[in-house]
Structure 1
């Protein structure tokens, strides 16, 4: 099986037309876009409903976000061991259906006047749990559907669609909560998950799932194999540590951020959605750059510099003052830069992870990195709520934004920084 590095110079700079002519790839692309749009809308809908309608405080918002992120810690490793033995298409279809039903039930509960904080906590956990399985399956699906020499351009296309979802998701969620109602906002998320369900269900190509033995290893053993593989690879080990630092402080930052915008800068739900949506166009640019810059500048150089710029720009947020005519354009610029360089890191890291991982270990490697990288996000959300209460919104935001810079520092001190213009092959 050829490595990704064998074809980067020929096809890594753009998405080959053959990929777009592939009907199954287009169905995966459309389904993933719709699913990500529903997910990003929901990530804004639930917290903004709690803040703007229920009037929750920093501590309660931290709990809500932590509950939604807890499934990463509880289920990611199990998801990896499970998805490696099943069709990624089946997992994505089932989880899309589950999330559509959960948000649909939320819309009905809202219409009946039952949509309080306890109900939001239940929905946040259910959607978060299903998203864990979808995300692991999604990261595995491309490897099973396309040739390895198409992974970099394929990832660029899929991550570009995720960027497009980031454009519409936050703006849609913020606008619906502010202008219409929480039930309408929840219903919109359900519709996008239903569209993803229909699109991915149409994939016909049989996946190259590793063969099952008559007596398959127990789940615990498969999880340990994934942990040992990631821990034994210096690049993947660093990805875990850098991702853990970034996601922990990002969770803390976002908890304060969602309070800082309406209460310190006095922005409306629509303005907040617009500001958050600026991450999407930036991420779209980042996806395009990811198909070119690593091959020209080197994967290590791109990873370290992009992470430093993308994380560092968030230090500008606590300094914002003044009316919306000043703060909203500034937030648009900050979030654009954050999205562009953050997405450049995401696509590049995914290409490195897929290139150095054997086919039979793809889901477990993805799940292990998700578990270690995002497992601390519930604690990060709680930390954000605590700092906002104890130190105030500006001081807390400054501390958590500065903490994100630990991620590029860890990468700069690791073998990742020494990666050249081609990717290493899987063992």
Structure 2
């Protein structure tokens, strides 16, 4: 049940100037932008290198993507319990340094001729593990940097930076793999992670870290107990429980779809790596628009209406892709349109859901709530990637693409049938958390 705290009013305007005057928020924003650009470039570089250079089959590509996503399932809950006790700045700085070193080592291995499938599997797992730490930490860091009534605006700014990364990252990764080499493509990711390291390292504000023991003789709860508290809090809250279920349905289907999609574009539509990267970047401009709309639409139409409508529109766009043919003059423009609509709808959902999750969660539970939702939702991506590879091998690319696109529509249906759809124009108040 909600506590007696007053509801948080949603801003009906873009990011207020006070946020941009905050030097630490600007540093977080710059670091987040660079980090996401490196991450999205890497997410394209590794699969394209496997498909175009190493001639990986559907099963191998599905396994590669699953290995990179496995840390979400294996580590998220532990990371959430850890982040709630430590400074998010320290976590983000260390993970940026780790990813830069891992990709730098991969670039060197490629130049020496050692960058085969086993090395790609190891690299994908290492980068994926470090990204789990960074993602949970940056979501928690915003709550510690801004006021609660600035959460929607702050999330809109950070998700806007992620949108810019979605625009430039895949294009950069695809172009480098096609025109230069995989080692240079990996080196570009290392460069962006290094830039993120430099920006976030400059954050000066001392964080108020909940629950960290300060007095001698006091002990924090054991990690398993802390994880259990996070799981219990999310499972007992109808809004957060729905977010988990809808996220799991979407992430499983989307991971399966992307495995098929990365095979469908070069092999069925005969598109080059550069054009594949261009098609993937179309989600970026759409996501930029979605970030801007997310600062206004929930306060005008209600958070529930925006969530259901945006999810149905964005996820439904991929249902048109199986009808495309490589000889058609509308193929590439249609792919760009699908990506744009998907990016816009998806970003509206991302920003709105994150603001709702942060608003209903007490400060001391922020890391564990984010990690629990990541574990349940994103934890389905390795299974989805494997399923996509299996479907592509057994049913063919076009049929598999249609099936996985239809599966993505489960997410808006789950939200429409839940209390999440009834959220109004104001963010809900923080909900009670179980006692420690």
TM-score by length of 2: 0.96
1:380 pairs, out of 375, 381, 384, with 384
Give how far 1:322 is off: 3.2
Give how far 1:208 is off: 1.6
CA contact (8 A) 2:84 2:211 kept: no
Which aligned segments of 4 or more residues in structure 1 are displaced greater than 6 angstroms? 1-4
Coordinate RMSD, CA, aligned: 1.2
Give how far 1:419 is off: 0.6
1:178-197 aligned within 5 A: 178-197=178-197
Give how far 1:5 is off: 4.6
1:287 pairs, out of 291, 308, 312, with 291
1:47-196 aligned within 5 A: 47-196=47-196
CA contact (8 A) 2:8 2:428 kept: no
Find the counterpart in structure 2 of residue 37 from structure 1: 37
1:420 pairs, out of 417, 424, 428, with 424
CA contact (8 A) 2:268 2:326 kept: no
CA deviation digits over 1:137-184, x for unaligned, max 9? Answer: 010000001111111101101100110010000000000000000000
Question: For the residues of structure 2 that align with 1:339 and 1:5, how far apart are their CA atoms?
Answer: 30
Instruction: Give SS of 2:206's match.
Output: coil
CA deviation digits over 1:285-326, x for unaligned, max 9? Answer: 000010011111111111111101111111011111133742
Give how far 1:136 is off: 0.2
CA contact (8 A) 2:8 2:148 kept: no
CA deviation digits over 1:12-56, x for unaligned, max 9? Answer: 421111111111100000000000000000000000000000001
CA deviation digits over 1:187-228, x for unaligned, max 9? Answer: 000000000000000000011211423111000000000000
2:360 pairs, out of 350, 356, 359, with 356
Instruction: Give SS of 1:281's match.
Output: helix
Question: How many residue pairs end up in the alignment?
Answer: 425
Instruction: Give SS of 2:330's match.
Output: helix
CA contact (8 A) 1:95 1:131 kept: yes
Question: For the residues of structure 1 that align with 2:420 and 2:109, how far apart are their CA atoms?
Answer: 48
1:241 lines up with 2:245 in the alignment: yes
Find the counterpart in structure 1 of residue 434 from structure 2: none
Question: For the residues of structure 2 that align with 1:256 and 1:267, how far apart are their CA atoms?
Answer: 14
Find the counterpart in structure 1 of residue 373 from structure 2: 369
CA contact (8 A) 2:211 2:220 kept: no
CA contact (8 A) 1:280 1:336 kept: yes
CA contact (8 A) 2:9 2:427 kept: no
Give how far 1:88 is off: 0.4
1:327 lines up with 2:336 in the alignment: no
Give how far 1:98 is off: 0.3
1:399 lines up with 2:375 in the alignment: no
Change beyond 3 A, Cα 1:317–1:211? same
Find the counterpart in structure 1 of residue 9 from structure 2: 7
Question: For the residues of structure 1 that align with 2:55 and 2:5, how far apart are their CA atoms?
Answer: 53
Give how far 1:376 is off: 1.4
Question: For the residues of structure 2 that align with 1:324 and 1:2, how far apart are their CA atoms?
Answer: 59
Give how far 1:235 is off: 0.3
Give how far 1:4 is off: 8.9
Question: For the residues of structure 1 that align with 2:269 and 2:427, how far apart are their CA atoms?
Answer: 44
Give how far 1:423 is off: 1.0
Change beyond 3 A, Cα 1:325–1:183? farther
TM-score by length of 1: 0.98
Give how far 1:90 is off: 0.4
CA contact (8 A) 1:12 1:153 kept: no
Question: For the residues of structure 1 that align with 2:230 and 2:417, how far apart are their CA atoms?
Answer: 24
Structure 1 unaligned regions, length at least 5: none
CA deviation digits over 1:219-262, x for unaligned, max 9? Answer: 00000000000001000000000000000000000000000000
2:266 pairs, out of 258, 262, 279, with 262
Question: For the residues of structure 1 that align with 2:5 and 2:328, how far apart are their CA atoms?
Answer: 50
1:215 lines up with 2:214 in the alignment: no
